[in-house]
Structure 1
Amino acid sequence: MRNFFKKALAVAKKDVVLSIASVCMIVTCFFVPPDIEYIAYDAATSSLGYFEWKTLVALFCMLTVVAGLKSTYVFELISRKLISLFKTRRSVIYCLVYGTFFFDMIVANDMSLITFLPLSYIVLHTTGNDKYLAPTFILQTIAANMGGMITPYGNPQNMYLYNFYEIPTLEFVKVLIIQSAAIFLMLFIAGLFIKNEKLELVNKEQFVVNTKRLIVYAVLFVFVILSIFRIVPHLITLALVVVAVLITDRTRFKDVDYGLLLTFCVFFVFSGNMARIDVISNFVRSIVEDYTLLAGILSCQCISNVPTAIFLSKFTSNWQDLLVSVNVGSLGILISSLASLITLKEYLKHQPKGFKKYILLFTAVNTTFLIVLIAITLLL
């Protein structure tokens, strides 16, 4: 029995995020025992019960393709171009953060992070700037969560509300344009706290890019983007990725972060159950119509932004405040946006003993951004 607990503890330490999420999920399952609603298909949201299967498919495809791109050394090539072009630590971090910000407008927050975080690590690691990994990743997470908030397809909660309320595109953009501009400026101000010293390569190892494999993964990357835009069906993209990788580079499947996919599944169950616990749902229902903005922000801190958008849309016609709340509410604690889990997992991959330090810094920075953005919103 002692050996069993030792092994269980060792497994838990290997994936702290998944372990904590699993404990939270199990606790909620005592209040909401597993039933058909866990997996029942919802035509309105195209989800399988709690599980947003399109998000999971897109995540798997992007994780696989990015793992493949890493194997071609293209990230090393791009990182050296960035270092030679921007030359200083602050300017290259600005490039990475704002790159994440604008890419998010096109492909949504989780895909933007999966693409840019590996590049950030290589840039900082090869120049001996690993101590700036946490602040850079945290600013990129804020950029990813906030960058796409003015576009209907910048993040999953926007997609849902845009379709659910049938919001005119121009009206949608108008609602959050000031908050988006504020975040853009706040990221710049935050970057000023980073010392602007010259970057020099510590690791000068030469890399040869595998051109044939790069072409395969570049094409697959385009298909993943097209599926996010709903131009190509998700299942067709999934089939293309699986078949292409099986034929050309099947060992790449072992590099996919299945723990991250499982963490998302666990959080889907956790947030779905939280929304069905009567004490929580009754409290939210009692305040949502009169205090939509506050209810949405608080709900995001409990059950994350996407479940909040789905849950609260059933109780209010005030789509403007709800839209603001599920975007502004993406700031704050770790679970307010599931995309933040991607960053934490990537960080712990490189700094396995840095969990406490990262969480404290993440919460401090995100809470500061949240308070400022709430103040700006209330003044409008």
Structure 2
Amino acid sequence: MKWLPESLRALRRDVFFLVLLAVLVLLAIAKPARIPDWPSLVDWPTIAALAGLLLLTKAVETSGALHVAGHWLIERTSTRRIAALGLVAATALLSMLLTNDVSLFVMVPLTLSMCRIARMPATRLVVFEALAVNAGSMLTPIGNPQNLFLWQQWNNGFGAFVWAMLPLVAIALVLLLAVTALAFPGTALQVHEENEQGVDRSLLIVAAVLYVPFLFLADFHHAEWGLLGVLAVFLVFRRRIIASIDWGLLLTFVLMFIDLRMLAGLDSVKQFLGGLGLDQPSHLYATGALASQVVSNVPAAILLAEYSKDWRTIAWGVNAGGFGFVLGSLANLIALRLLGERKAWATFHLWSLPFFLVIGLIGWALL
């Protein structure tokens, strides 16, 4: 087993992965005829885009550029509270323009580098960045996968989508920034690591040059070709980058797609949804928010689109459902895996579950 990457060997101790694997085994026993359909249940473009982003961000991290950027930011930030507010606001803004997962791949490694330099705990800060991408990405149709699906499904305009989401997003962001200001102390930041780390300029340039065309290909639904190109470059240029990415995260996502789509497609689930009175906006909203806690918000949006044409209510429900349990949004899982701390799961739910309840009730009242 030593020849396997460390991230794959660590799956033996990953409780979430083991639960997904156990569910897969139960589904295989219950519906063995569906096993040949499993590959078609996986959203391979998403997996390809995730793999490419893992490679590129690992290259940037290995180059040492984030270490230098962390020093620069700390020297210009006076307190932990101001640093947290700036990072959370920047993460939310990026998620509106670059999608929630890309925002995390940019901000979390930078945050971890800053925290190492200043010797301050990173867990709570990354948790708040996960909340920030869920709040910010709600606004635009390109902010997250569920919005993109709903936008394309009903062919509504970009501006109309933003206008429809604005009330809930504005409240979520104001609340998030207020809680951030209370959750982080006003203690001064200090650089404890004086030794400057050099930057591997060639590695940084290669990653930067590959980044834009990769995002362009992923945006035009050619993520697989983009991934092949990135893999080819690093196989020749820096093979160790490929071995060092989180392959366990990719495998976990594959299992999630299979498990969640199998569960969403069960007749009992469809019959249950059919009896919930989804023609009423309040029922549709609550179902979207609560279903996201079980099957994640992207499958929940796809499923509810079969029962209602009220895209605004569906969008509000499944986006509010991105908060709460870690399964509510795939971005939550990405943030926690990038952080790499087991205890972070408890911290995440300590903040995310109350946020889900408050935003969920506010959204329900605004309807």
User: Is the TM value for this pair above 0.5?
Assistant: yes
CA distance in 1, matches of 2:11, 2:160: 46
Ranges of 4+ aligned residues in structure 1 off by more than 6 Å: none
Of 171, 177, 188, 1:188 maps to: 177
Contact 2:91–2:103 at 8 Å: present in 1 too?
yes
Contact 1:304–1:330 at 8 Å: present in 2 too?
yes
Displacement of 1:151: 0.8
The answer to whether 1:340 aligns with 2:326 is no
The answer to whether 1:303 aligns with 2:295 is yes
Displacement of 1:188: 1.2
SS class of match (1:59): helix
Please show how residues 39-58 of structure 1 align to structure 2 within 5 Å: 39=39, 49-58=40-49
Whichever residue aligns with residue 314 of structure 1, its letter is E
SS class of match (1:186): helix
Over 3 Å counting, the alpha-carbon distance change for 1:12 and 1:251 in structure 2 is closer
SS class of match (2:333): helix
Please show how residues 78-97 of structure 1 align to structure 2 within 5 Å: 78-97=69-88
Displacement of 1:249: 1.1
CA distance in 1, matches of 2:31, 2:111: 41
Structure 1 alignment gaps of length 5 or more: 1-9, 40-48
1:19-38 per-position Cα deviation (integer Å, ceiling 9, x unaligned): 22222333333334334443
Displacement of 1:212: 1.8
CA distance in 1, matches of 2:69, 2:96: 21
Contact 2:138–2:144 at 8 Å: present in 1 too?
yes
The match for 1:38 is 38
1:267-326 per-position Cα deviation (integer Å, ceiling 9, x unaligned): 101111111222222111221333211111111011001111111111111111111111
Displacement of 1:335: 0.6
What TM-score, normalized to structure 2? 0.91
Contact 2:20–2:256 at 8 Å: present in 1 too?
yes
The match for 2:59 is 68
CA distance in 2, matches of 1:271, 1:188: 32
Displacement of 1:13: 4.9
SS class of match (2:197): coil
Percent identity for Structure 1 against Structure 2: 25
The answer to whether 1:197 aligns with 2:187 is yes
CA distance in 2, matches of 1:237, 1:153: 19
Displacement of 1:341: 1.0
SS class of match (2:96): helix
Of 75, 93, 101, 1:102 maps to: 93
Whichever residue aligns with residue 296 of structure 1, its letter is G
Over 3 Å counting, the alpha-carbon distance change for 1:71 and 1:11 in structure 2 is closer
The match for 1:379 is 365
Structure 2 alignment gaps of length 5 or more: 1-8
1:67-86 per-position Cα deviation (integer Å, ceiling 9, x unaligned): 11111100001111110111
* CA RMSD across the alignment: 1.8
Of 235, 256, 278, 1:246 maps to: 235
Greater Cα offset, 260-269 or 26-35: 26-35
CA distance in 1, matches of 2:243, 2:11: 20
CA distance in 2, matches of 1:299, 1:29: 23
What TM-score, normalized to structure 1? 0.88
CA distance in 2, matches of 1:322, 1:265: 25
Contact 1:175–1:324 at 8 Å: present in 2 too?
no
SS class of match (1:86): coil
CA distance in 1, matches of 2:85, 2:212: 25
The match for 2:22 is 23
CA distance in 1, matches of 2:30, 2:164: 37
Of 161, 164, 181, 2:153 maps to: 164
SS class of match (1:203): coil
